[in-house]
Amino acid sequence: MENNIIPSESSNSRFVPDIFDDLEADRARLVEHFRAPKWLAPGYGLIAAAYVSIPAFPDEPTGDFVLIAAVIVGFLLVGNAYRATGIKISRFGAREWAAFAAAVLGSLVLHSVSLGLASLGLRWWIAASASAAFVLVLWLTRLIFSSLRERLRNDR
Amino acid sequence: MTADGIFNEVIHAPLRLRICGLLRSVDELDFAVLRDTLGVSDATLSKHLKALVTSGLVTSTKMASASRADSRRITWLRLTAAGRSAFDDHIRALRKISAGFDILDITDSRS
């Protein structure tokens, strides 16, 4: 039976360290539960690969469609990841923002490379830059998630 | 928010303190994740959440779940701004009590 009566300050002090130990143990259990769904990082990798491969499709409607679909799928992945883990963490720290910026910049640079390859008529080589984007964003997404896990473990 | 903290009667109940501790570290938690992490029954968790919601410390939002065949929903739980502030104040108050106890220990060992 739970005791909701507030103990006196002196008796309280006897179990305060136990209270903090309980909170730490709960946090550790929550971190164990916070695992990235297997499809999350590959999903973002595919989005980046799709964006980088846009120059392979010279007609504008295809490029626009890929871009809009990539943005929508990106949001759906976040929503589904929240549902799969049952945990919502939206606050990014410096490390997560840096990784996110690297993913965006890397994708932009590789998109430019694809544009260059397309202008030179080397359309099949765009598959290489798209693969590079996939690997880069896959790795950075995993980095962001593990960084969020570490922050959840150590946040005070 | 005060430097010494404010002891909060609603939060101090052991399970409610643990609930607030978990909610403090995230934006929102699913009811099922919270239940599994704490290792309590649905009924026990619901009872304590009701007290926290009634006090304006926690909010709950129900969302439909496409992954479930039945009509069950995901219940997202979140500490309100008042809840975060009350929990932080309560922790500060506990730390102050703990620090006071440490000083008493030192004094006892010297005498």
- Domain segments of chain A as ranges: 9-154
* Inter-chain CB proximity B37 and A17 less than 8 Å: no
- DSSP letter at A7? P
Contacts of B75 in chain A (CB under 8 A): none
A21, closest residue in chain B (CA to CA): B18
Distance from CA of A117 to the nearest CA of B (A): 42
Write down how long chain B is: 111
* Inter-chain CB proximity B27 and A85 less than 8 Å: no
pLDDT of residue B68: 55
Element (H, E) at B77: strand B73-79
Interface membership of A23 toward B (CB under 8 Å)? yes
d(CA A133, CA A110): 7
Q: Which two tokens stand for residue A19?
A: 């209270």
Looking at per-residue pLDDT, the higher value among A128 and A152 belongs to A128
B99, closest residue in chain A (CA to CA): A13
Tokens 């439909």 sit on residue: B64
**Taking a C-beta distance cutoff of 8 angstroms, is the pair A120, A2 a contact?**
no
**Taking a C-beta distance cutoff of 8 angstroms, is the pair A20, A97 a contact?**
no
Q: Which two tokens stand for residue A124?
A: 């099949």
Q: Find, among A90, A93, A97, the residue nearest to A154 by Cα.
A: A93
Element (H, E) at B66: none
Contacts of B29 in chain A (CB under 8 A): 86-88
Contacts of A6 in chain B (CB under 8 A): 7, 9, 12
C-alpha distances (whole Å) from A134 to each of A20, A39, A52 are 43, 13, 9
> Domains (ranges, CATH) in chain B?
9-110 (1.10.10.10)
Distance from CA of B3 to the nearest CA of A (A): 16
Beta-carbon contacts below 8 Å between A and B: 82
Distance from CA of A34 to the nearest CA of B (A): 10
> Residue B20, exposed/middle/buried by CB under 10 A (0-12, 13-18, 19+)?
buried
pLDDT of residue A6: 46
Looking at per-residue pLDDT, the higher value among B10 and A15 belongs to B10
> Residue B71, exposed/middle/buried by CB under 10 A (0-12, 13-18, 19+)?
exposed
Would the pLDDT of A10 be above 50?
Answer: no
Interface test with B, best of A16, A33, A82 (most B CBs within 10 A): A16
**Taking a C-beta distance cutoff of 8 angstroms, is the pair B62, B77 a contact?**
no
Tokens 């943005």 sit on residue: A71
Question: pLDDT tens for residues A19-71?
Answer: 888 888 999 999 988 889 999 999 999 999 999 998 888 776 777 788 888 88
Task: Give pTM, 2 decimals.
Answer: 0.78
d(CA A153, CA A130): 35
CB atoms within 10 A of CB A112: 13
Would the pLDDT of B110 be above 60?
Answer: no
Would the pLDDT of B106 be above 70?
Answer: no
Element (H, E) at A106: helix A94-119
Interface membership of A154 toward B (CB under 8 Å)? no
List the strands of the sheet with B58-64, edge to edge.
Answer: A87-88, B28-30, B73-79, B58-64
Mean pLDDT to the nearest integer, A81-92: 89
Alpha helices by DSSP H, A3-59: 9-33, 40-52
Interface membership of A8 toward B (CB under 8 Å)? no
Interface membership of A19 toward B (CB under 8 Å)? yes
Q: Which two tokens stand for residue A105?
A: 């910049």
Strand partners of residue B59: B78
pLDDT of residue B27: 93
